[in-house]
Amino acid sequence: MATTPAISEEVLAKYEPVIGLEVHVQLLTASKIFCSCSTRFGDPPNTNVCPVCLGLPGALPVLNRKAVEFAVLAGMALNCRINETSIFARKNYFYPDLPKGYQISQYDKPLAEFGFIEIPVQGGAKKIGITRLHLEEDAGKSLHEGFPDAAEKTAIDLNRTGVPLAEIVSEPDMRSPDEAHEYLTRLKEIILYTGVSDCNMEEGSLRCDANISVRPRGQKEFGTKTEIKNVNSFRFIKQALEYEIERHVGVIESGGKITQETRLYNANEGRTYGMRSKEQAHDYRYFPEPDLLPLVVDEDWQAAIRAGLPELPEARRKRMMKDYGITAGDAASLTRTRGMADQFEAAAQAAKNAKRVANLVQSELLGRLKGRGLELEQSPVSMAGVAASADLVESGAISGKMLKDLYDLCFERNKDFPAVYEEDSRSWPMR
């Protein structure tokens, strides 16, 4: 696979990249946003459809309450102001996977606005503004394989049509592909903590469009941007941005002008291609959706939703460093998922020395899991098992060397630490 070269020093000395991201996350409701069809992934094509999501004449949308609550929760987690009243709008365009000829979205009155995410940067943190978070329905999917005549025809699967999405639009606040990567990592982590989406990029439940421009350093106005659509991993987004920055600078330096357009990234070739000229908002002929009332999320409803907001990753890292005396690095890896943090805390509280538990997770558990491509859920040694091993070291019952051997045996036998310790300690020559 071709790899995109990182951006050269000369380019960065002269030009400053400006990046803004638009992220769609699929909300984890059981049914679609305006009808009761299932949102299940992977069902046979066109089995989860009804007159509403097919856009048949006379069918009326009914808003899914859970989708609203999930979107509001995400908005709160992203430090947004929740608008008590927001308005659904029709975004009109023609595409084979859009049966109604319009998508129900939100336009000038979105559900949430003015948020931010903090990303770590050299020597501190930087706030990336979140312009808005709004609710909308997904479109269907074009199929190019897996059915008879696939060589000549494109088929349409409308199971995804009407699945609820939250679109999260950032301010053009990022200044490098690394910052964009960091923003996406944080955003995904926060959304996963709230539980409103599984953020599974392979299944399309997290999708990102990246907007990029460059300007001569010192210039205040932004340059003309291009938009890179539907790149399917964070690493590829970073690579696509690096490529695109070099391309912009090349065009400008040779006296040309960047055309505002939508581009596609080909990861195999490591380059982007022009796809179409960018639509302007007026091309969509937005107008208020006449079949839906304004969405009102009053104070009481907001308070009830806010009560379900979990402790978020950044706050949790800080608290855990204080509560357990662990390092920033340990806290970062122990809070990668909410499940891991929960399990660690339970184990750390049960153990004699929480810090030792954190150390052993790092030194004995995570490396072995990574080496075998296992997730924590698949680990033979549970967090409780790590805590038990920490207590044995703490009390002097086993040495550091024995500890390592026992961890090896746990992974060999696919058994948890206490079990292997029981089995094996009897045969040990020394105690």
Part of the chain binding Zn ion (CB under 5 A), chosen from 42-50, 205-213, 221-229, 232-240: 42-50
Q: How far is the CB of 106 from ligand ADP (least distance, A)?
A: 13
Dist CA 164 CA 70 (whole Å):
10
Partner that binds at residue 222, options Zn ion, ligand ADP, none, CB closer than 5 to 8 Å by kind: ligand ADP
Is 171 one of the binding residues for ligand ADP (CB under 6 A)? yes
Dist CA 354 CA 345 (whole Å):
9
Part of the chain binding ligand ADP (CB under 6 A), chosen from 16-24, 149-157, 185-193, 392-400: 16-24
Dist CA 130 CA 79 (whole Å):
9
Pairing of β 164-170 and β 295-296: unpaired
Pairing of β 261-266 and β 226-231: parallel
Dist CA 159 CA 137 (whole Å):
12
Q: How far is the CB of 23 from Zn ion (least distance, A)?
A: 25
Dist CA 203 CA 186 (whole Å):
20
Is 53 one of the binding residues for Zn ion (CB under 5 A)? yes
Dist CA 24 CA 209 (whole Å):
9
Residue from 35, 168, 199, 348 touching Zn ion (CB under 5 A): that is 35
17: β partners: 214
Q: What is the DSSP letter of 336?
A: S
Residue from 37, 169, 245, 410 touching ligand ADP (CB under 6 A): that is 169
Is 117 one of the binding residues for ligand ADP (CB under 6 A)? no
Phi, psi of 364 (to 5 degrees): -110, -30
206 in Cβ contact with 197 (< 8 Å): yes
Which is it for the CA torsion 35, 78, 167, 197, positive or negative?
negative
Residue from 132, 207, 225, 317 touching ligand ADP (CB under 6 A): that is 225
CA distances from residue 384 to 34, 80, 137, 177, 392 in whole angstroms, order as listed: 44, 37, 42, 39, 13
Site string for ligand ADP, 265-284 (x = CB under 6 A): -------------x--x---
Is 208 one of the binding residues for ligand ADP (CB under 6 A)? no
Partner that binds at residue 35, options Zn ion, ligand ADP, none, CB closer than 5 to 8 Å by kind: Zn ion
Residue from 7, 21, 25, 37 touching Zn ion (CB under 5 A): that is 37
Part of the chain binding Zn ion (CB under 5 A), chosen from 15-23, 27-35, 150-158, 410-418: 27-35
Q: What is the DSSP letter of 37?
A: -
Q: How far is the CB of 219 from ligand ADP (least distance, A)?
A: 12
Q: What is the DSSP letter of 129?
A: E
Q: Which is nearer to Zn ion, 61 or 75 (CB)?
A: 61
Dist CA 14 CA 12 (whole Å):
5
Partner that binds at residue 213, options ligand ADP, Zn ion, none, CB closer than 5 to 8 Å by kind: ligand ADP
Is 249 one of the binding residues for ligand ADP (CB under 6 A)? no
Q: How far is the CB of 52 from Zn ion (least distance, A)?
A: 5
Part of the chain binding ligand ADP (CB under 6 A), chosen from 101-109, 207-215, 391-399, 410-418: 207-215
Contact residues toward ligand ADP (CB under 6 A) are 18-22, 169-172, 211-213, 222, 225, 278, 281
